[in-house]
Amino acid sequence: MERAARARLASAVSSASWFVARALWVVLHVFLWTRSAGRAAVDRAFRVSGLAFLEPRRGLAFCARKLRRALEVGSFKTPWADHGERPPPPRTLAVIVNDPDEASSSRCLADIARVLVWAADAGIRHVSLYDQDGCIRARASRLAELVVRATVRAESESAHFAPPASAYAFRRANGDGAMKTVERFECGGKATRRPSRRGERNPTSNESETARNRKESARVASPPSASADKAETHASTTVDLLRAGDGAAALLDAARRWGEPAGPLGIVAGDPETGETSVAQLEAWMAANGSLLPVVEVTVVFGKHFHLAGYPPWQLHKTEMYRLRSLSTFSRSKFGDVLREYAGVSKRHGK
């Protein structure tokens, strides 16, 4: 009798456990389905009403703050950030042309030259130009000439747009991944002049490139004089010409030379005894070795299909991506739209 009672009790407990588990499973799925349907309905309602810029998926409190900020400035199109101020322009820009036919065309270089002039005017100091086959990389001298022409044309055609005086440095990766400057020139304002090709001498000077670099370093290190204050200042813009495989060689070189010091400070990539290292140590070693590619903040992809065509992925972990179908239809106003959209982004870095 007692054994039968225990069996009935165990059966009742088992049935109750199964019922509770089944009920919890149903409640959980109903909750998840309701939340998903509710979010979709709210997103559609905001989109239909023209308020999608409030980003309702980030919460109603965030929408309220953003709406209050938009009402304060009197415009829903004004760049906005959590701190209420317009953020600075991106420090780094990547332009990816994933269509081989467009990258190899002669018009592509002229379009890219205009983008470089616009980027310099916006205050972007590092630009990476990428196509998988390296067509842009192979025509660095021609691109430098087109940048000067685009600057002169912009100064002569528009009274409202005057490109700033900029010093451009075009770099390419060597076999070991180190970035080497292949073109250096200045243009914009009174500084516009024809870029010098490798092997050419400046007719007004017989100095070597090393001597000019030493004088430039001494000029930067010396305190500014009265005449220097009146001189036109130049913003430095570095342009990396990349192709498929660039950047990977630098990581392989760092792995082969594990533990070796690099640069005048003797920075070590890792501990040769324990084999331990960190990302910061590796990046510091590559920077001292001249092979570090900077982290990209804004990436614009041009092509009929959206893909990165083998662009170094470790540069893109913090980037905001934008895609357009063709570089030939990219205008200054669209470039401004990209920067305004980026200015409204609130980065949380996974938090």
Which range scores top for mean pLDDT: 68-82, 151-165, 260-274?
Answer: 151-165
258-302 pLDDT tens trace: 666 655 555 555 565 665 667 777 777 777 777 788 889 999 999
What pTM does this model have? 0.63
Query: For the chain, what are the domain ranges?
Result: 40-78, 92-219+232-247+293-343
Confidence of residue 36 (pLDDT cuts 50, 70, 90): confident
pLDDT at 159 over 80: no
Confidence of residue 1 (pLDDT cuts 50, 70, 90): low
Q: Supply the Cα-derived Rg of the chain in whole angstroms.
A: 28
What is the token pair recorded at 185? 């020139």
> What does the alpha-carbon distance between residue 182 and residue 141 come to, in Å, rounded to a whole number?
8
pLDDT at 110: 93
Q: Which of 10-14, 39-43, 309-313, 346-350 has the lowest average pLDDT?
A: 346-350
Q: CB of 147 within 8 A of CB of 118?
A: no
> What does the alpha-carbon distance between residue 288 and residue 142 come to, in Å, rounded to a whole number?
30
pLDDT at 40: 85
47-72 pLDDT tens trace: 888 777 777 777 777 778 777 777 76
pLDDT at 64: 81
Work out the mean pLDDT of the chain and round it to a whole number: 76
> What does the alpha-carbon distance between residue 304 and residue 323 come to, in Å, rounded to a whole number?
9
Tokens 């792995």, residue located: 255
- A 10 A CB-CB count for 178 gives 17
pLDDT at 11: 80
pLDDT at 344: 75
Q: In this structure, which topology does domain 92-219+232-247+293-343 adopt according to CATH?
A: Undecaprenyl pyrophosphate synthetase (3.40.1180)
Q: Which of 121-135, 227-241, 292-306 has the lowest average pLDDT?
A: 227-241
SS3 128: strand
Confidence of residue 112 (pLDDT cuts 50, 70, 90): very high
Question: Which is higher by pLDDT, 242 or 214?
Answer: 242
